[in-house]
Amino acid sequence: MKRPVVPAPPVWDFPSPRTAQLDNGLRVLIFQRPGQHLINATLVLELPLSAEPRDREGVSAILQRCLDEGTASHPGTDFADELEGCGAVLAGGTGYAAAHLSLEVPSTRFGTALPLFAEAVREPQLADADVRRHVELRLAELAQEEAHPSHRGAIAFRAGVIDSEYRAARSASGDATGVGAITADDVRAQHQAHYGPERGTLVLAGDFGGEDPLPAVVAAFGDWRQPTVPISHEVPRSAPARALLIDRPGAVQADVRLGRFGIDRRHPDYAALRLGGFVLGGGFLSRLNRVLREERGYTYGVQLANSPARSGGLLAMHASFRTEVAAAAIAEASELLRVDGDRRITDTELTDAVNFLVGIAPLRCATASGIADQAAALVEAGLDTGFVNTHSAALRQVTPEAATEALERHLPLNDLSLVVVGDAEALAEPLRSAGLQLELA
């Protein structure tokens, strides 16, 4: 009996949406997904956070949190009752380039829920009491984040690798000073100035039962008329490399980030850098994880994350190490990031990385929400949905030499910033002994 021959899997393609544009400028992308009876509708509004007033940073996030607190047509809890009656869920957030609001609803109730979704975007109540409550909640969250080493490290790393003149150098949800100053008038003004159809792309994904969902979109959004103020997207620059130690007295672990300002999806090196980064620290059997976790036992896990934005991005190793081994772990991690000589990316490593990244793409897009999330992320980045397929093809063309060279260009070991959150009394001397010009905070 012969072993059966297993053919290579077919090349998966991200689906092409049907596109339309309403008379008011709202763009619509429709993904018909048979069998996906939980429909996702995601509205992406082009709204860079650089458009926030400098002394009210965080107002976009507060606005997003208030959208489901009642509308002009369904004030107060009436809106939540109507939404719950449809079995629908609203969720939203703010990125540095766009705001987004998503609706998930069973296909049988899509026609009822979509007008409610439109109400939340077009005519939110934005009552004084609701705004005050969300400001207070956000201030409480900020206090918790300040006490959490990972949050403190993430904020400090962003501020350390991006030039401070750019909004991207600061938290997307603002700090305590800006958030604490936000009033209901500020939130209403933000909505009035920036929520308009010409800024929007509505992504629909799911099984619409053979019916065209566009008429329902026109009925809900077609008469939306709201002029908005002009905007522009910033193109951040990197800041000089630095080593920062943030004191957390008595901490038994040190939260560590090592990296720099990175590249975005448009950069010709993006595919090669993504693969190279995966080899170094993207998977459980990556070089960093294999040595620092499995062999040394310094950490529960370590990763090298490549996080592209609309312009630029962040490229950083992140891990929490036991305080007594943190300095040694940082030194060894730096060595593991080297790709010169016999440490260059190998054929086997690259093949494994390609197989994983190309193979996981269809799994991430197996649901209507997965499709909508991917499309919305590309809209926010200023790219069309065809990027998914061109990027997958680009991944397959990367050579070990190209991946190695991309890492050498974009992760130079002499130009990386280090942020450590931990016990300064225990960490400062070992880190300085390792040759670091350390700043204390």
**How much of the chain exceeds pLDDT 90, in percent?**
96
- 240: pLDDT strictly greater than 80: yes
Transcribe 257-314 into DSSP letters. Answer: EEEEEE--TTSTTHHHHHHHHHHHHTSTTSHHHIIIIIIT---S-EEEEEEE-SS-EE
Domains and CATH numbers, the chain: 18-221 (3.30.830.10), 243-440 (3.30.830.10)
Any idea which residue has 């070990």 for tokens? 400
Q: Collapse the DSSP code of 355 into the 3-class scheme (helix H, G, I; strand E, B; otherwise coil) and give the result.
A: helix
CA–CA dist 120, 123 (Å, integer) = 6
- 53: pLDDT strictly greater than 80: yes
- What separation in angstroms does the CA of 74 have from each of 69, 95, 117, 184, 258? 9, 28, 12, 19, 49
pLDDT of residue 8: 77
- 161: pLDDT strictly greater than 80: yes
Quick one: average pLDDT of 268-286? Answer: 96
The answer to whether the beta carbons of residues 333 and 339 sit under 8 Å apart is: no
Query: Average pLDDT of the chain?
Result: 96
CA–CA dist 311, 309 (Å, integer) = 5
Q: What torsion do the CA atoms of 179, 184, 190, 193 make, to the nearest 10 degrees?
A: -160
Structure tokens at 123: 């005519």
Transcribe 120-160 into DSSP letters. Answer: HHH-B---HHHHHHHHHHHHHHHHHHHH-HHHHHHHHHHHH
pLDDT of residue 7: 84
- What single DSSP character describes residue 11? P
- 10: pLDDT strictly greater than 90: no
Strand partners, 99: 45, 94
The answer to whether the beta carbons of residues 105 and 183 sit under 8 Å apart is: no
- What single DSSP character describes residue 208? -
pLDDT of residue 284: 87
- Of 366, 324, 376, 66, the C-alpha closest to 200 is 376
pLDDT band, very low/low/confident/very high, at 114 (cuts 50, 70, 90): very high
Q: Mind listing the pLDDT tens digit for each residue in 289-337?
A: 999 999 999 999 999 999 999 999 999 999 999 999 999 999 999 999 9
pLDDT of residue 90: 96
Structure tokens at 56: 């009210």
CA–CA dist 130, 290 (Å, integer) = 49
pLDDT of residue 2: 86
Q: Mind listing the pLDDT tens digit for each residue in 16-37?
A: 999 999 999 999 999 999 999 9
pLDDT band, very low/low/confident/very high, at 210 (cuts 50, 70, 90): confident
Quick one: average pLDDT of 207-215? Answer: 94
More confident residue, 183 or 210: 183
Amino acid at 148: H
Quick one: average pLDDT of 166-170? Answer: 97
The answer to whether the beta carbons of residues 133 and 238 sit under 8 Å apart is: no
Quick one: average pLDDT of 157-175? Answer: 97
Structure tokens at 296: 């040394």
- 438: pLDDT strictly greater than 80: yes
- Of 372, 374, 347, the C-alpha closest to 360 is 374
- What single DSSP character describes residue 68? T
CA–CA dist 385, 379 (Å, integer) = 8
pLDDT of residue 248: 96
Q: What's the pTM value of the predicted model, to 2 decimals?
A: 0.94
The answer to whether the beta carbons of residues 165 and 236 sit under 8 Å apart is: no
